[in-house]
Every structure is written in structure tokens, then in C-alpha cells.
A and B are shown apart, each in its own frame.
Chain A
Amino acid sequence: MVRFSAGRLLESIVVLGVMTFVVYVLIGLMPGDPIDLMIAADPNLTSADAARLKALHGLDKPIVERYWNWLSNAVQGDFGYSRTYTKPVLDVLFPRLGNTLLLMSLSLIFALALAVPIGIYAALHPYSKTDYAINMFCFAGISIPSFWFALLCIILFAVHFEWLPAGGMETVGRGDLLDRAQYMVMPIFVLTISSVGSFTRFMRASMVQTLRQDFIRTARAKGVGTTRLLVGHALRNALLPLVTIVGLSFGNLFSGALITEIMFSWLGMGKMMYDAILGNDFNLALIGLLFATGATLLGNFLADVSQVVLDPRVSFASRENER
């Protein structure tokens, strides 16, 4: 157990390490560099100044050396300054991260609260009309482009009915709980719809498979009541794969949050990253991407470990062989 987890953790750390380099190089390949931007902004800068500034910030050095400098500062907790906010990037990142986590966790809770009962219902009535309809809705949720769905919601609820604000975090001058909740309704709704479909399908599949197992028949034969059979015997087993799927869906949730935040001007990490990439704020884009990568890797790691922790039938040895 410990060996397995330690191995997986080490692997994730190695991947994160490699990704810091890949992302650093990619960010370096984006158009423009910080000094060119300063020259464009200030006509008094001469080319000699520019060269001196480039030397000062180490931009004349090869990319590997720059990466090494960045990394040695980063491990000491110094990730550099944001160009657009003129603040240390972590000071920009953390409030944004909080907003994103709020969005992600609430929509994850709603998605699961919908997916689990709906999935169970569908599994209990396989190939019925309702099951068919649920399946259709799941496919629709998976296939709908979330940015378009967000746009439709804005057109309908903000432009047409004027029930909800079209975007932002709070009304200037109000900002009480009710006000902020109004701003949250649409982003959370859109993000929930984008993940509920696949969760429901997994829940249904896993429940159907569990109900076919021998121990369910045995339990029924010895007279266990329906509720107890479903909750105590079937659900506990059927939820195991869902735990894994939730862990693995971290990356998708981040992607979904990114597009949702952009659509609703939600001041989260996804929008921050997108603005940073478009605004040539290299340090900020870098830390945002690395944080997203780290969180996704963590989700995958937890999914892997939880599978072996929660399900004793998955032995570590077989898990290792399979991989």
C-alpha cells in the first residue's frame, strides 16, 4: 500500500517537474517578450536600454539557463512578478484560486447530487422509457458546447427575462450573500450540466454491473429488504468507480471552469490564465498552468490511491501488473 502510493506520488512529482520545463519553454515560445513590450509602451527607451534590461532580467541567456534560474527561485517560493498586476504572482493567484475552487466544488456537489440518484434510478429500470430519456439527456450534456450553452443562458436569463446578472462576481456597492449568490447561479448551472452527464452514465453502468453480481442475489434470497439491499449492498460497491471518475475528472473540471469563467467574467484562475496568456503576462500564465497541472495530477493520484484503499478486491499486485 505505502509502496504503491509512494511510487505513484513520486511519478506524479516527476511528471510535474517535467511539465514545469515543457510549460516554461512553451510560454517562452509565445509571441513578444517582456522587454519588447516595455519598449512599445515607452518611446524614451533606447535600444541600449533595452539590451541592458534584457541582460538585467537574463533574457539574453539561452532558454535552459533561464529555466534553471526560474526553477531555483521557484523552489524557494519566488515565482516572480506579474507584469499586468505588478504584484508577486502568488498574491494574484490565491484569491483567484479561491474563486475557482468555490465554483468547482459547488458544481461538483450539485453534479453528484443529481448524478447518483438519477444513475441509480436508470440502473433499476434498464431499457425503460425513462432510462432512454435519461441517456438522451446525458449525451446532450456531454455534447453541448459549454461556451454556447453559457451564451444561451445569458441570452435567456440575463437579456430576455432579466432575472440574473450576465456576468461578474457581485454588484458594486452591494455584495451581500444574496447578491453574490445571484451571480453564481448561471456559472454553477453551466458547469454542473457539463459534468453531470458523464457522472450519471458511470453511475448507471456501475450500478447495473453491481446488481448482476452474485452477492446481490444471495442477499435478496436471504430476505434483505429492497432499501437495505440497494443502499447497504449495491450502492456501497457501485460508488467505488464513481470515486475514481471524480478524481480523474479534475482536469475536465478545470477546463470547464476556464471556459465558464471567461463566459461569465468570473474572476477565477481559468480567466486569470487566459488573460495572462493573451496579455503576455508570462510569469502569471506559467504559475496558473503549473497550478492547474498540479491539481489535475493530484486528482489522478487520489483517484488511483482511493481505488486500492476503498476496494480491497483490487490488490496492489494486480494493479501494478496491469499497469
Chain B
Amino acid sequence: MSVIAQPSLQSPTRRMWRRFLQHRLALCSLIGLVFLCLLAMSAPLIEMLLGVDANTANLFARFQGPSLQHPLGTDELGRDLLLRLLYGGQVSLAVGIVAALFSAVIGTVIGLIAGYQGGMVDRVLMRFNDAVIALPLLPLLIVLAAVDLNKLGLPASIVESENISLYRIVVIIALVGWNTVARLVRAETLALRQREFVRAAVALGAPSRSIILRHILPNAVSPIIVATTLSVGNIILFESILSFLGLGIQPPTASWGNMLTNAQELIWSAPLLAVWPGLLIFITVIAFNFLGDGLQDALDPRALD
């Protein structure tokens, strides 16, 4: 073992890439997720090729086994299982990613303000953060999902829109999901504020806004990316639980969670219907977790080579 460290000849970006590529599980997960997303997005195309409609019930063709027309068979209403899985995947993935991005934005703003302002603002925001972390998430999400939007005084055009269950779930998850990012960004901001380049910018009279946006935020990006990636998996889990309980995505719109609601009643007659949606949730969530883990290793400059 040489005592003197070899000077690194690689740029940080290349080193990051190399570390990420070394994390084989993360790489496989990324490839798998991209494939899954593409597959879900190509659902209309597959629908056309197979010549079946995803939402038309056909009671004469219930519980069919795999066939050319229905590669995974049909469900309790004679709908094609593969297509429903793919359309459900669109919803679950979209909710997971969009809600994760929303919570990341909220968390970043709160973290930046708390870390940069310090003092009373910081203390109040962090107390609030602690309080949200200390709440039992699932019971709270169930209550939030059960809230009657008419009583909130929202305009009827929104309440009665077709995708309301989708918007609602994104909003409630974003409302309670921002705290990890906020805590990380705050810690990073506190550390960055003491660095020479930030102090130099302050001394040169740069306005706070540009210090935050140009000097602090770009340097705090790694923890945001890692936390957001890891949160996608969790959000998909929560979405699927809520949809499974009948409080999330409402049928006939398919989501992996609400497909399992019906399957639960049919475990005696058609156990396979319960296997597929859950398996896809499991694979997606574990892939996002591996990806987050790999990104953490790759993006953390303190990580050992």
C-alpha cells in the first residue's frame, strides 16, 4: 500500500461515472427502470398490435390463461391483464416521479431558506420539519386521502375532473414527503455558507438570491438527487397502499395498487391476478432503492475508491 495517494488523473465527473458503473446493481436497476418506463409508455402501441382495448370488459372471456391475444391472460372482467399492468404502470410511475419531484422542490426551498437565513427562521422551520417527521405517515395519508374536496371549497371544475384522484395523491404525498430533502439541503447550505467562495461572494456584494442560486444550490445537488431517487420508491409504495385501500387512484383508471384490490377477493379462484401487479411494484421500488444507493456511492466525494 503506497503511503502517498496517487494524484487522480480523472475529472470528478468521470470518476462519478466510473463509480456508478462499478455499482452493478444500480446500473441494472437503471436499465430495468428505463425499459419499464418505455414499455409502459408504449402501451397504446401494444394495444394496437394486439388488437384489444384495455378498458373494455368482456364477461365471456374472464380469467383466461395466457394466449397470443392476451399474453398474460385476462382479469375478472375479461380485460387484458398485460395492458392493464402497463397502463397501471404509467400511473404508478408518473405519480411516484412527479410527487418525488414536487417534494424535492418544496424540501429544497425550505432547506435553502432555513440554512441560509439561520436564526429564528431556521429554528422555526426545523421544528416544523421535526414535527412532520414525527407523524405516523400512513394513518395521516389515509385521512388526507379521505378529505372531501367539496368541503375545502375547491371549484367544481377541479373536484369533478377525471384525474382528480391522481392530482390529489400527488399533492398529499408532496405535502408530507419534503422533510428528508429539507434536512439534507439545510445541512449542506450551513456547511457551504462557511466556505471561502461563498464568503467571497458575500464580501463582493452579491445579492442573496444569486448566492443561493448560483453558489449554494449547485453544490447541494448531490444529496437532493440521492434523496429524491430513494423517495420515488417509497412514494410508489404509499400510492399503491392507498390505491389498494380504495383511497388513492380510483378505478376504472388502473394503478398497480387498485388492481390488487379486486385480486384480493379472488385469491381462491385466480391467485395469479394478485401476483403480477405486486411483483411490478416490488421490482420498481427495489430498482429505485438500488439506484439511489448507487448514486449515493457515486456522488459522495468522501466515498472511498
Complex CA distance for A251 and B150, rounded to whole angstroms: 30
Q: How far is the CA of A148 from the CA of B271 in the complex (A)?
A: 12
Main secondary structure of the interface of B (DSSP, over half): helix
Assembly CA distance A29 to B244 (angstroms): 22
* Interface presence of A173 (CB below 8 A): no
Within the complex, which residue of A30, A154, A262 is in contact with B143, where a contact is CB–CB below 8 Å?
Answer: A30
Q: How far is the CB of B142 from chain A (nearest CB, A)?
A: 6
Which of B135, B136, B264 has the most CB atoms of chain A within a 10 A radius of its CB?
Answer: B136
Asked whether B282 lies within 8 Å of A285 as measured between CB atoms, the reply is no
Q: Does A316 contact B (CB under 8 A)?
A: no
Decide yes or no: A270 and B146 within 8 Å by CB, A15-B134, A145-B237 being known contacts: no
Instruction: Tell me if B140 counts as interface (CB < 8 A to partner A).
Output: yes
Among the listed A160, A273, A297, which residue makes an inter-chain contact with B139, where contact means beta carbons less than 8 Å apart? A273
Contact B152 A29 (CB under 8 A): yes
B131 touches A292 (CB 8 A): no
* A46 lies within 8 A of chain B by Cβ: no
Closest B residue to A258 using CB positions: B138
Contacts of B286 in A (CB 8 A): 139-140, 143-144
Q: Are B282 and A151 in contact (CB under 8 A)?
A: no
Interface positions of A from 280 to 313, Cβ below 8 Å from B: 285, 288-289, 292-293, 295-297, 300
The proximity string for B residues 252-286 relative to A, scoring 1 for CB distances below 8 Å and 0 otherwise, is 00000000100110011001001101100110011
Q: State whether the Cβ of B151 lies closer than 8 Å to any Cβ in chain A.
A: yes
Q: Is the CB of B281 within 8 A of A27?
A: no
Q: How far apart sit A53 and B170, CA to CA, in the bound complex (Å)?
A: 38
In the complex, what residues of B have CB within 8 A of residue A293's CB? Answer: 134-136
Q: Which residues of B contact A15 (CB under 8 A)?
A: 130-131, 134
A259 lies within 8 A of B138 (CB): yes
Q: Which residues of A contact B268 (CB under 8 A)?
A: 159
Contact residues in B for A323 (Cβ distance below 8 Å): 126
Structural contact, B134 and A297, CB atoms closer than 8 A: yes
Among A18-26, A67-75, A117-125, which stretch is in contact with chain B? A18-26
The answer to whether B240 has its CB under 8 Å from any CB of chain A is yes
Residues of B within 8 A of A277 (CB): 142-143, 146
A249 to B278, CA, bound (A): 24
Compute how far the CA of A159 lies from the CA of B134 in the bound complex, rounded to whole angstroms: 38
Q: How many A-B residue pairs have CB under 8 A?
A: 128
Contacts of B133 in A (CB 8 A): 300
For residue B147, CB closer than 8 A to chain A, the reply is yes
Nearest Cβ on chain A to B94's Cβ, whole angstroms: 18
Mask: chain B, 38-62; 1 = CB below 8 Å from A; 0 = not: 0000000000000000000000000
A8 to B131, CA, bound (A): 11
Contact between chains at A139 and B136 (CB < 8 Å)? no
Is A255 a contact of B136 with CB atoms below 8 Å?
yes
Q: Is the CB of A143 within 8 A of B285?
A: yes
Q: Do residues B289 and A143 form an inter-chain contact, with CB atoms below 8 A?
A: yes
Q: Evaluate contact between A151 and B134: CB separation under 8 angstroms.
A: no
Q: Which residue of A lies closest to B263 (CB)?
A: A151
B211 at interface by CB-CB < 8 Å? no
The answer to whether B139 touches A151 (Cβ under 8 A) is no
The closest CB in chain A to the CB of B233 belongs to A143
Determine whether the beta carbon of A139 is less than 8 Å from that of B245: no
The contact string, 1 if C-beta is below 8 Å from chain A, for chain B 145-176, is 01110111000000000000000000000000
Look across to chain A and name the residue whose beta carbon is closest to the beta carbon of B148: A31
Residues of A within 8 A of B146 (CB): 30-31, 277-278
CA distance A129 to B267 in the complex (A): 37
Q: Does A64 contact B (CB under 8 A)?
A: no
Does A38 touch B at the CB level, under 8 Å? no
- Residues on A with C-beta less than 8 A from B199 are none
Whether A289 pairs with B140 at a CB distance below 8 angstroms is yes
Across the interface, which residues of B come within 8 angstroms of A255, CB to CB? 136-139
Q: A145-B237, A292-B136 are in contact. Are A151 and B142 (CB under 8 A)?
A: no
Asked whether A155 is an interface residue with its Cβ less than 8 Å from the other chain, the reply is yes
Which of A142, A143, A251, A252 has its CB near the most chain B CB atoms (within 10 A)? A143
Q: Interface readout for A255-280 with B: 1 if CB under 8 Å, 0 if not?
A: 10011001000000010011001100
CA distance A156 to B137 in the complex (A): 30
Is the CB of B192 closer than 8 A to any CB of chain A?
no
Does A110 lie at the interface of the complex (its beta carbon under 8 Å from any beta carbon of B)? no
**In the complex, chain B residues whose CB is within 8 Å of the CB of A140:** 282, 286
Asked whether, in the complex, the Cβ of B260 is within 8 Å of the Cβ of A148, the reply is yes
Report the minimum CB–CB distance from A215 to chain B (whole Å): 22
**Which B residues from 189 to 218 make CB contacts under 8 A with A?**
none
Indicate if A49 sits at the interface (CB-CB under 8 A): no
A160 to B274, CA, bound (A): 14
A309 to B144 alpha-carbon distance, docked (Å):
37
Question: Is B18 an interface position by the 8 A CB rule?
Answer: no
B131: chain A residues at CB < 8 Å are 15, 18-19
Is there a chain B Cβ closer than 8 Å to A11's Cβ? yes
- Measured CA separation A149–B279 after assembly (Å): 10
A147 at the interface (CB under 8 A from B): yes
Query: Do B290 and A155 touch (CB < 8 A)?
Result: no
- List of B residues within 8 angstroms of A250 by Cβ: 136
A140 to B139, CA, bound (A): 24
Residue of B nearest to A280 (CB): B146
Do residues B282 and A159 form an inter-chain contact, with CB atoms below 8 A?
Answer: no
* A152 interfacial contact with B, CB 8 Å: yes
Query: Nearest 6 A-B pairs (CB), nearest first?
Result: A148-B278, A255-B138, A143-B286, A31-B148, A143-B285, A292-B136
Q: Beyond A139-B286, A289-B140: 4 further Cβ-contacts under 8 Å?
A: A26-B143, A147-B260, A160-B271, A259-B241
Interchain residue pairs with CB less than 8 A apart (7)? A29-B148, A144-B285, A148-B260, A151-B263, A159-B267, A254-B136, A289-B143
